[in-house]
Each structure stands twice: as structure tokens, then as C-alpha cells.
């Protein structure tokens, strides 16, 4: 009878014991699968964050909600190539053909009519794909596409908002900036998921689910209608010193170059039918993202901008990496936690498996003695025990793979939830983002979707194979150490002990 046959018969002869040991191996493999998968995800996320966090500088006012005009940053427009500039504008609007998501609204306002509060937060950008919320993976495209540069009347909406209103790509959404403003129609071209940092004031526009993205130019027109109806919050603009927005002299930030001899540049081109509306208030923005030239570092770009004639009593330069600090620190913290868990799983499984095998082999002294008496070597007996464990681990690996596939999201959520609960005692270590609610802070965890996205990009088979190889190393080590109880004895001693 071969060694493989003896190993198989040894397993089916003690079925209950084999099933208990197999269940233990399943638990070990599940833990190893999750740990290795999360470690691989943290490496991918860390490299992504490292690349994205050093992409640009953001020029804005000290109060991030305030807006400024092109004239205020004309020195930048005259110095930096348009393709390195990304204008951002945040405004609000009221829905006509849909309703906002209100399930997570924690503030109930009694001092004001809730119907008069803005329902959606509308972000305008001439390059939405480069927006910090997408570069940091706070938001992720789930369906459709990003709007093309200079594309008009298109919109990206949150997947929860789309599900709430039964919307999909290609459908039309109508909104207006205020009660008496003219309605705007947008075609939905993209659906995204995720969470941004939220400030709860009681308005539906506070929530991530009611966030939308459109072109910088469309956001300008929505805001212009808003301020013209509700009273502009902008400072008066001297028409003589204001850069024209329309006409052939305007250069597009998305790729057009400033013509020689011009002393000014504009961030966008405005269609003739909307020129008067926008020009009356000026092209306004909440931030201007400036990417470094290929030969520049962020420090060199910052030094260059600080030398420009900008009013830095009003303006400030923000490193886009600040938006990634919480994610970066959280990823590092989760990586450390997972490494500790992985080490504990390996050590614990080795100790438990060693004790089980020691007891198992003590019960089989008689069998070992007989095998020795008929001419089998100690090495052959050790190989049989190792084959028994390998045969036991094969179905266990399949069961563990299926369990991880179906329950990975829940397992990841629990691991990240543990990290977040630990953060309450050490907030400087685990800063996973927060939403301000009055004087309290409602924490949310933007990492869960990140880990699931990165885990889906990694081959599940490779992760499972790595976990199985690691488990085989633990099994081999446990079999080797446990075999010492009879390997150090002479065959005669084992036969005497058997009798």
C-alpha cells in the first residue's frame, strides 16, 4: 500500500477528528485570505494616494466657501499654461424633476422653511476627472463616463440619488438655481459612488448623495441665476479692468494656448446666448487647481506662485495632499493592524495545530510502531502525516475561498470598524474623515469602498493561492515539530512502548 493510500485511509477512519481539524484549517485559511487581500489592497491604495496627493496646488480664499473672479487671479492666468489649470466652482440648486435623498439628514431645522434650503450641491469643473474628490477616491465612477472638456448640459449624479429617483445614464434631470429662476435641463452621463466630507446644516445639499458634477461653464450659469435672484454675494467688478470672457481672445483651460501678444487669458469659452448672464457677475470659482510643469516640483511651483502679485491676505495655497492625509494615515493604520492580525493568526494556528498533532501522534504510537516493524522508515511516516494534512487542507481551501468571496465585504467592514473604534482613543492615528453635526462629529469610513474596489482589482485566485501556500508552510512546520516525539526515539523504544 502506498503512502498516499495510507494517508487517505487514516483520514476516513477517524472522520469526526478529521472534520474538526478540517474546520480549524478553514478558519485559518479565511483569516489568511482576508489578511493577505487587505495587505495587497493597502499597497495599491498607498501607491495611488502617493501619486494623487502630489498632483497639484489649490489656490483659494481662506474661507473655502467664498468665491473669487478671474480678475483676482489674472497674474496666474498670464503665467501658467491653461492646460495646467483646473477651475472649480461649488454652488447649489433646487430640483424640479426629482427629489433629494434625505434618509441620512441628522439635523431638523425649525427656524427656517426646509423647502427653501438648497437641495443639491453642484460642483462645476472644466476637468471633472481631475477633481480632488475623484483623485482621492472619495468618489468613484460606477457607470457611464466623465463629461468631456467643454461638453455642455451634462451631469454626473450619485448612485444613491439615481436609485432613489430611478434614474440612469442617458436620462434627463431638470433643476433651477432658485424659485423664480429659469429651469436647466441636464443629461446624465455618469453615476458615481462614495462619500465626501459633510457639514450638516439641515440642508439636503449637505449630503454626499445629493452631490452632482457638471461643467464649469454650466455651474457658472446656475450660480449667476442664483445670485441674480437672491442677491449677489460678490464684490463689485470694474468693467474696465475685467478680462472679457467671450470672444475669440478667450483661451480654454482644457488645452488651448494663449496667443502671442495677448496679456490675458480666460478659463473658459462662453456661448453667445449666455455671455451676458455670466459676464454680469464675472467668471467666479471657489478654487483654482494648478499642476506643476513636467520639470517642476510642488515646492518650486509654490515658490513661483508666491512671487506673483497676488493678494495673499485673501488667498491661500493648499497642497492637494491635505485632502489625502486622512486616507493615507488610515491606510497605514489598517496595514499595521492587518500585519499584527496576520502574525497572530500564523502564530496561533501553528501552536494549536502543533498541540493537535502531538495528541494525534501519541494516540497513533501503536500504528507507528507497526509501520516501523514492517520496514517503513521514520521519514516515510512523517511524509504520511504531512500528506494527511495536505489532503485535509484541499477541501478546506475551497470552502475558505467560497466564504471569503461571499462575505469579504462584511469582514472588511468589521476590520475597518475596529480600526475606527480604536481611533476614538487615538484620533491622530486613525483619521478616516468626519462630518460635523452641530458641535458633535459623526464619523464615516470612506476606506471601505476603497478596499473593496482595490480588492476586486486584485486576482482573487492569487490571493487564495498565497494564503494556501502560507498555510502549507504552517502545516509543514507543525508536522515537523510534532514528529520529534517519535523521530528522536529508536524503533525498539517505540515497539516496547506499544507493547
- Write the burial class of residue 481 (CB in 10 Å: 0-12 exposed, 13-18 middle, 19+ buried): middle
Q: Say which DSSP state 244 is in.
A: P
pLDDT at 342 over 50: yes
pLDDT in tens, 448-493: 555 555 454 445 778 888 899 999 999 999 988 888 766 777 767 7
Q: How many helices (H) and strands (E) does the chain have?
A: 15, 15
| Separation in Å, CA 49 to CA 41, 136, 328, 448 | 12, 7, 7, 15
pLDDT at 223 over 50: yes
The span from the CA of 448 to the CA of 410, in Å, is 10
CA atoms within 13 A on the CB side of 201: 10
Mean pLDDT of 268-278: 39
pLDDT in tens, 315-332: 988 876 655 666 667 777
Q: Residue 276: left if φ>0, alpha if ψ -120 to 50, beta else—which one? A: alpha
Mean pLDDT of 361-368: 79
Q: What pLDDT, on a 0 to 100 scale, did the predictor assign at position 326? A: 60
| Separation in Å, CA 491 to CA 2, 292, 358, 370, 376 | 21, 76, 18, 10, 10
Predicted TM-score (pTM) above 0.85: no
The span from the CA of 322 to the CA of 303, in Å, is 18
When the pLDDT of each residue in the chain is averaged and rounded to a whole number, the result is 74
Highest mean pLDDT among 70-84, 108-122, 175-189: 70-84
**Residue 182 CB: number of other CB atoms within 10 A?**
11
Higher pLDDT pick, 14 / 398: 398
Mean pLDDT of 55-75: 85
Percent of the chain surpassing pLDDT 90? 17
Q: What pLDDT, on a 0 to 100 scale, did the predictor assign at position 226? A: 55
**Nearest by Cα to 165 from 134, 118, 203, 209:** 209
CA atoms within 13 A on the CB side of 57: 22
Q: What pLDDT, on a 0 to 100 scale, did the predictor assign at position 254? A: 37
pLDDT at 400 over 80: yes
Q: What pLDDT, on a 0 to 100 scale, did the predictor assign at position 494? A: 66
With vertex at residue 195, the alpha carbon angle to CA 190 and CA 200, rounded to the nearest 5 degrees, is 120
Q: Three cell numbers at 155?
A: 451631469
Q: Three cell numbers at 246?
A: 467671450
pLDDT at 150 over 50: yes
Percent of the chain surpassing pLDDT 70? 68
Q: Are 171 and 158 in contact (CB under 8 A)?
A: no
pLDDT at 431 over 60: no
Q: Residue 422: left if φ>0, alpha if ψ -120 to 50, beta else—which one? A: alpha
Higher pLDDT pick, 214 / 439: 214
Beta-carbon contacts of 440 under 8 Å, excluding residues fewer than 6 positions away, are none
Amino acid at each position: 500500500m502506498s503512502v498516499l493510500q495510507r494517508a487517505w485511509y487514516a483520514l476516513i477512519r477517524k472522520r469526526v477528528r478529521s472534520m474538526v481539524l478540517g474546520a480549524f484549517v478553514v478558519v485559518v485559511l479565511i483569516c489568511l485570505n482576508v489578511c493577505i487581500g487587505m495587505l495587497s489592497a493597502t499597497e495599491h491604495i498607498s501607491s495611488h494616494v502617493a501619486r494623487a496627493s502630489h498632483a497639484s496646488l489649490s489656490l483659494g480664499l481662506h474661507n473655502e466657501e467664498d468665491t473669487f473672479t478671474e480678475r483676482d487671479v489674472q497674474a496666474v492666468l498670464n503665467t501658467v499654461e491653461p492646460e495646467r489649470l483646473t477651475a472649480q466652482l461649488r454652488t447649489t440648486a433646487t430640483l424640479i424633476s426629482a427629489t433629494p435623498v434625505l434618509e441620512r439628514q441628522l439635523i431638523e431645522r425649525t427656524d427656517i422653511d426646509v423647502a427653501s434650503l438648497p437641495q443639491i450641491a453642484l460642483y462645476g469643473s472644466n476637468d471633472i476627472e481631475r477633481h480632488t474628490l475623484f483623485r482621492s477616491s472619495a468618489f468613484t465612477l460606477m457607470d457611464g463616463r466623465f463629461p468631456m472638456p467643454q461638453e455642455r448640459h451634462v451631469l454626473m449624479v450619485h448612485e444613491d440619488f439615481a436609485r432613489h429617483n430611478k434614474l440612469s445614464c442617458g436620462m434627463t434631470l431638470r433643476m433651477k438655481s432658485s424659485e423664480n429662476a429659469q429651469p436647466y435641463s441636464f443629461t446624465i452621463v455618469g453615476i458615481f459612488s462614495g462619500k465626501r466630507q459633510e457639514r450638516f446644516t439641515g440642508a439636503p445639499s449637505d449630503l454626499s448623495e445629493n452631490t452632482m458634477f457638471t461643467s464649469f461653464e454650466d455651474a457658472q450659469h446656475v450660480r449667476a441665476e442664483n445670485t441674480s435672484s437672491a442677491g449677489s454675494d460678490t464684490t463689485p467688478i470694474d468693467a474696465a479692468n475685467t478680462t472679457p470672457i467671450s470672444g475669440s481672445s478667450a483661451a480654454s483651460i482644457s488645452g488651448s494656448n494663449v496667443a502671442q501678444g495677448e496679456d490675458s487669458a480666460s478659463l473658459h469659452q462662453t456661448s453667445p446666448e449666455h455671455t451676458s448672464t455670466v459676464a454680469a457677475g464675472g467668471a467666479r470659482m471657489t478654487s483654482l487647481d494648478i499642476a506643476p510643469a513636467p520639470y517642476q516640483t510642488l515646492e518650486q511651483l509654490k515658490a513661483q506662485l508666491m512671487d506673483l502679485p497676488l493678494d495673499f491676505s485673501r488667498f491661500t495655497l493648499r497642497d492637494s495632499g491635505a485632502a489625502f492625509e486622512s486616507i493615507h494615515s488610515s491606510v497605514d493604520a489598517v496595514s499595521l493592524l492587518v500585519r499584527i492580525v496576520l502574525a497572530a493568526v500564523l502564530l496561533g494556528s501553528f501552536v494549536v495545530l502543533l498541540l493537535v498533532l502531538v495528541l494525534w501522534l501519541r494516540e497513533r504510537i501503536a500504528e507507528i510502531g507497526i509501520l516501523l516493524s514492517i520496514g517503513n522508515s521514520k521519514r516515510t511516516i512523517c511524509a504520511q502525516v504531512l500528506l494527511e494534512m495536505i489532503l485535509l487542507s484541499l477541501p478546506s481551501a475551497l470552502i475558505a475561498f467560497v466564504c471569503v468571496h461571499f462575505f469579504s465585504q462584511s469582514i472588511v467592514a468589521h476590520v475597518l470598524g475596529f480600526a475606527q473604534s480604536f481611533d476614538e482613543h487615538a484620533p491622530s492615528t486613525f483619521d478616516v474623515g468626519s462630518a460635523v453635526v452641530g458641535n458633535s462629529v459623526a464619523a464615516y469610513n470612506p476606506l471601505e469602498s476603497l478596499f473593496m474596489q482595490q480588492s476586486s482589482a486584485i486576482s482573487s485566485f492569487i490571493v487564495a493561492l498565497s494564503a494556501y501556500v502560507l498555510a502549507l508552510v504552517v502545516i509543514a512546520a507543525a508536522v515537523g515539530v510534532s514528529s520529534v516525539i517519535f523521530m528522536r526515539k529508536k524503533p525498539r523504544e517505540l515497539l516496547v512502548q506499544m507493547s
